[in-house]
Amino acid sequence: MQTTEQLAAWQGEFGNAYTDRNVIDWRVRAPAFKEALDGFAIHRVLEVGCNRGHNLCALAEILAEDAEIFGIEPNAHALAVARTASGKINAISGNVFDLPFKDAYFDLALTVGVLIHISPDQLAKAIQEIARVSRRYILVAEYYSEADTAIEYRGRDDLLWKRDFQKHYQSTVANLKLVRNGYWSAEEGFDRTHWWFFEKSNAAL
């Protein structure tokens, strides 16, 4: 299984500490997801990098009762927490570079504050893998900057990058159409997060 310096950090004590200090009421985020996804037929969902399962719980609240909601997480501590968060979600060990699902398995694949932690030389591979498992929709919620910008993060300069994720996705994945985009603030339960909702224009209906 592939590993990187960034992945190793999130799998270890650095990731454990992040999990312990980032506890929110997932209900605060539910309206933001509802607005972003409203009107689209989404039954099977994967969040890549689900951490404690906050977003999975919010998605379980707004989607149909029989929706299938999966999360994948590389940190064992976070994964254990996510598995107790709700009986409606499925949390699995793994990482963005090797998703254990067949092509086009999900209606929607999403990340929230995950791709900002992927190094520049690995970003395209992560995007390709996310796009591979999505049949139709991709939701990306990350920190935005017009130019790729490394940000010092808790004493390290190799763990966080702001980027134009629309540009990166559309230059990496063919036939990807931007459907909606916006900004989530602390009032919605997020940290200065821009989001983009894409549709594969060649998706099988």
**pLDDT tens digit sequence for 16-55:** 999 999 999 999 999 999 999 999 999 999 999 999 999 9
Decide if 91 contacts 73 (C-beta within 8 A).
yes
Identify the sign of the CA torsion 28, 29, 30, 35: positive
Q: What is the pLDDT of residue 53?
A: 98
Coil, helix or strand at residue 51? coil
Q: Cα–Cα distance between 19 and 16 in angstroms, integer?
A: 5
- Domain 5-200 fold is Rossmann fold (3.40.50)
CA 116, CA 96: separation in Å to the nearest integer? 13
| Residue 167 CB neighbour total at 10 angstroms | 12
Q: What is the DSSP letter of 153?
A: B
List of E strands, the chain: 44-48, 68-73, 89-93, 106-112, 134-142, 149-150, 161-162, 176-184, 193-200
Please report, in tens digits, the pLDDT of each residue of the chain (205 residues total): 578 999 999 999 999 999 999 999 999 999 999 999 999 999 999 999 999 999 999 999 999 999 999 999 999 999 999 999 999 999 999 999 999 999 999 999 999 999 999 999 999 999 999 999 999 999 999 999 999 999 999 999 999 999 999 999 999 999 999 999 999 999 999 999 999 999 998 765 5
pLDDT at 1: 57
pTM score: 0.96
Q: Where are the domains of the chain?
A: 5-200
In this structure, the dihedral spanned by the alpha carbons of residues 11, 79, 42 and 101, taken in order and rounded to 10 degrees, is 60
The number of C-alpha atoms within 13 Å of 66 and in the hemisphere containing its C-beta is 1
Contact of 20 with 83, CB cutoff 8 Å: no
Rounded to whole angstroms, the Cα distance separating 62 from 107 reads 15
pLDDT for the residue 192: 92
